[in-house]
Amino acid sequence: MSGSARRSPLAQIAITSVILCGILIIIGLLTNTFGDRVLVRVVTVLFINVVLTVALQIFMGNSGLSSFGHIAFMAIGAYSSLWFTLTPEEKNRTLPDMPETWIMHGWHTDFLPAILLAGGVAAVVGGLLGVALVRLRGASFTIATFAFLIVVHTVALNWDPMTRGSRTVFGIPDLTTLWIALGAALIVVVAGLLFRESPVGLRLRAARDDEDAAASIGIHIAWVRWVAWISSVFIAGAAGALWAHFITTFSPAAFYISETFVVVAMLIIGGSGSVSGAVLGAVLVSLSSEWLRRLEGWLNQHRSDGTIIGQLIPIELRGFAEIVIAIAMIIILIKRPAGLTGGREVGWDSFGPRRTVPPGMPIANVPASAQE
Amino acid sequence: MDSLIQYLISSFSLGGLYALMTLGLVVVYGILRLINFAYGELVMVAGYGLLLFGNTDLAWPLVALFSIIAAIVAAVIMERVAFRPVRFGSANTMLITSFAVSTLLQNVTLLAISPRPQAVRLPSFFVESITAGNLRLRIVDLASIVVSVLALVVLTVLVRRTTIGIALRAAADDFTMTRLLGVRANLLISVAFAISGLLAGIVAIFWVGRSSLVEPAVGLQPVLIAFIAAVVGGMENLKGAVLGGYLLGFLWVGLQTWLPQAMLDYRNAVLFGIVIVILLIRPEGLIRPVYSRERR
């Protein structure tokens, strides 16, 4: 670690918060001033992705366990926010199979409380599931979260009164503005930084680095994991509510394996060990996948027009962005397994040693080549 | 009585496939502590092998053989290109790498072949059935029972009697020690992946044979089942994998047979729900490892 003149944790959190929030605010202001409608939409999604990725970081980065189930909580948040925000007339249109006699049908509230309630529903479901999950380790944990993703997907596909089944829900009021998404991202970034240095966060990271040693000094590992888990899924649920009221029309297919892959990719590319990594990954992947999608459209256009560039493309391009992101992710996992930020926060111990060891791995297991 | 026999045959047929699938996953996990998410894509490779070789005028047994070989080759290449460089990373790094490999392969197939399901040419016995008394038995069900039992026997002999099999089991217990005793790690891991690909290829033929369609996501359902069976059976041993596979086969067919019509669409959710409950009671799976080394 670096020399004697270390800043206090709170001062470091403040510095990192200012830098990360500053970057996000600048992105927001620039988009608002110079961007067209399309760019505003792209950046709004980017901010929602920041919320989601930081949610994942809070759990994965601090506990060292991989969750492939967070998109399920996003789905829970998205659907439950509909139950809370839509007026009875809107429900007749958007969720026509919901019986009018249900209390759910008549009751509705404003957007802000609905976001919190949506997160709350996700947290309650996640809290119950978490009781079972925190007892699992390593791969079993990840598989169980993945199983949960499938459970939620299946339920969403079939629970017609509450989700309209496999059909698309539409006519959701467009309430998530650029500023609301930015605000949520800022709150979550600061919360993630505070959590990391909080007593629970520190204990959790101790358990991540050495489970036995952490247990031996009296850390209740299951408890700290559970707390991080429900905090994390609460935010994922809230992100779902934000997304639902931004996209205004979606179906259960929007919350499944490829979406899980994208959010995990964001975190891993940026570096799961730090909130800065989550933000960096979300920004990079959101912007580059938008850019790749445009490139794909442009190339396909050329192909159908039969121009010189178009003749170089033998087949219609599909899923270009996913392929590029997957390759980028594999290269990063090989070359820099702790992600681009190496698990460090910006403005934090800038002169200290670079951390190249991924979280969840004791130093002793690392081959000498990876130790600097 | 008839319905019971029918149930048993369906369950053994499906359970056998699941058991092979799970074994393919566990044989790699035992050594590398890697849950291979891209395992489903090996099924996909063999499935598309059936499609591509099936469009030539090769005899069908050759088509099947080449498809299985394609899966084996894909498994070995996958290990060499993606997993070997991250072998010394954490278990998490490998897990996420396999997720990326899976997404990559699916999207490449989507791009290069087609996102739509395509019909595979299959020999007629895949759709025929024989009648015995009141029973109508599909030949493909009987064939998959025979093939899976045969594969299990061969694999058991391999693992128990041959040098490479003993090395595989030793490596699953303690990989470092096994290497110190002079077993070549790269060779051993390649063999494990080859076995994994072989099993995925065998499963693919029967799995694709059930619907005679192949699509980029064809490996998803079998690999999910294999994950769950592996966790339920206990990740670390081959017996657990077989037990877990058959158990899930019985559960799945049972749910399909006895779940009320209205609940049928939820059977995925019910199955995975049951699994979460099993994990709550026995977090280490049904068969606890005698000698467990969690890689951390």
Interface residue of B83, B93, B282, B284 to substitute, partner A, most A CBs within 10 Å: B93
At residue A359 the predicted structure's pLDDT band, cuts being 50, 70 and 90, is: low
Dist CA B283 CA A33 (whole Å): 54
Is B194 part of the contact surface with chain A (CB cutoff 8 Å)?
A: no
Residue A55: the pLDDT is: 97
Å between B80 CA and nearest CA of chain A: 12
Q: If you search the block for the tokens 């979606």, which residue do you land on? A: A250
Give Cα B137 to chain centroid, integer Å: 24
Residue B295 is predicted with a pLDDT of 43
pLDDT at A78 over 60: yes
Segment A283-293, tens digit of pLDDT? 999 999 899 98
**Under a CB-based contact definition with an 8 Å cutoff, are residues B47 and B204 in contact?**
yes
The pLDDT of residue A366 is 43
B154, with CB counted inside 10 A (0-12, 13-18, 19+), is exposed
Which amino acid is residue A197, in one-letter code? E
Please check whether residue A182 is in contact with residue A24, taking contact to mean a CB–CB distance below 8 angstroms: yes
Residue-level pLDDT at B288: 67
Task: Kindly provide the residue ranges of all beta strands, DSSP E only, lying in B112-227, ordered along the sequence.
Answer: 118-119, 129-132, 135-138, 213-214
Contact A143 B35 (CB under 8 A): yes
pLDDT higher than threshold 70 for residue A327: yes
Distance from CA of B133 to the nearest CA of A (A): 38
Distance CA A11, CA B262 (A): 58
Residues 6+ apart with CB under 8 A from A155: A163, B266, B269
d(CA B168, CA B103): 29
The mean pLDDT value for B126-130 works out to 78
The first and second tokens of residue A360, run together, are 């969840």
For chain B, the average pLDDT equals 86
Average pLDDT value over all residues in chain A: 87
pLDDT band at A244 (very low <50, low <70, confident <90, very high): very high
Per-residue pLDDT, A5? 54
Through-space distance between the first and last CA atoms of chain B, rounded to whole angstroms = 50
Tell me if B86 and A68 make a contact (CB, 8 A cut-off): no
pLDDT of residue A19: 94
A contacts of B295 (beta carbons < 8 Å): 138
In this complex, do B269 and A358 lie within 8 Å of one another by their Cβ atoms? Answer: no
* B263 in reach of chain A (CB within 8 A): no
- Chain A CB within 8 Å of residue B96 CB: yes
Which of B88, B111, B272 is facing A367, going by the closest CB pair? B88
Percent above pLDDT 70 for chain A: 92
Which range has the worst mean pLDDT, A122-131, A133-142, B98-107? Answer: A133-142
Q: What single letter denotes the amino acid at residue A179?
A: W
Count of residues making up chain A: 372
Can you tell me the distance from the alpha carbon of A356 to that of A3, in angstroms, rounded to the nearest whole number?
20
Query: Average pLDDT, stretch B31-56?
Result: 91
Global confidence as pTM: 0.88
Nearest CA in chain A to B33: A139
Put simply, the answer to whether B266 touches A361 (Cβ < 8 Å) is: no
For residue range A171-230, what is the model confidence (pLDDT) as tens digits?
Answer: 889 999 999 999 999 999 999 999 999 999 999 999 999 989 999 999 999 999 999 999
Q: Which band of pLDDT confidence, cut at 50, 70 and 90, is reported for residue A372?
A: very low
- Across the interface, of A131, A132, A322, the residue whose CB is closest to B107 is A322
- Encode burial over A199-234: b for 16+ CB neighbours within 10 A, e otherwise: ebbbbbbbbbbebeebeeeebebeebbbbbbbbbbb
Q: Mutate which of B28, B92, B109, B251 to disrupt the A interface (most A C-beta within 10 Å)? A: B92
Whole-number pLDDT of residue B289: 60
Q: What pLDDT was estimated at residue B256?
A: 83
The answer, yes or no, to whether residue B48 has pLDDT greater than 90, is yes
Asked if residue B98 has pLDDT above 90, the reply is yes
Question: Which residue bears the tokens 């918060």?
Answer: A17
pLDDT(B67) > 50: yes
Residue B79 confidence (pLDDT): 94
Confidence of residue A56 (pLDDT cuts 50, 70, 90): very high
CA dist B228 and A289 (Å) reads 32
pLDDT value, residue B54: 87
Q: What is the pLDDT of residue B87?
A: 84
How long a stretch of residues is chain B? 296
Q: What is the mean pLDDT of residues A7-33?
A: 91
pLDDT of residue A370 exceeding 50, the answer is: no
- Predicted pLDDT of residue A358: 53
Query: Cα(A331)–Cα(A175) distance, rounded to whole angstroms?
Result: 39
Q: How confident is the model over B43-58, as a mean pLDDT?
A: 91
For residue B23, give how far its alpha carbon lies from the nearest alpha carbon of chain A (Å): 16
- Four-CA torsion A208, A226, A119, A345, nearest 10 degrees: -20
Q: Which amino acid is at A229?
A: W
User: Which amino acid type is present at position B204?
Assistant: A
A197 exposed, middle or buried (CB, 10 Å; 0-12, 13-18, 19+)? middle
For tokens 């026995």, the residue is: B282
Find chain B residues with C-beta within 8 A of A143's C-beta: 35, 227-228, 230-231
DSSP-derived secondary structure letter, A358: P
How far is the C-alpha of B217 from the C-alpha of B194, rounded, in Å? 22
Asked if A370's CB is within 8 angstroms of B276's CB, the reply is no
Query: Predicted confidence band at A6 (pLDDT cuts at 50, 70, 90)?
Result: low
The lowest-confidence range among A260-269, B102-111, B146-155, B264-273 is B264-273
Whether residue B43 contacts residue B219, with contact meaning beta carbons closer than 8 Å, is answered with yes
For residue A367, what pLDDT is reported? 45
- Chain B CA closest to residue A328: B100
Q: What pLDDT shows up at residue B226?
A: 87
Flag if A151 and B33 touch (Cβ within 8 Å). Answer: no
What is the rounded average pLDDT of the residues B148-170? 89
Q: Is the pLDDT of residue A237 over 60?
A: yes
**Inter-chain residue contact B107 with A319, CB threshold 8 Å:** yes
Nearest alpha-carbon partner for A250 in A132, A124, A324, A165: A165
Alpha-carbon span B245 to B20, nearest angstrom? 8
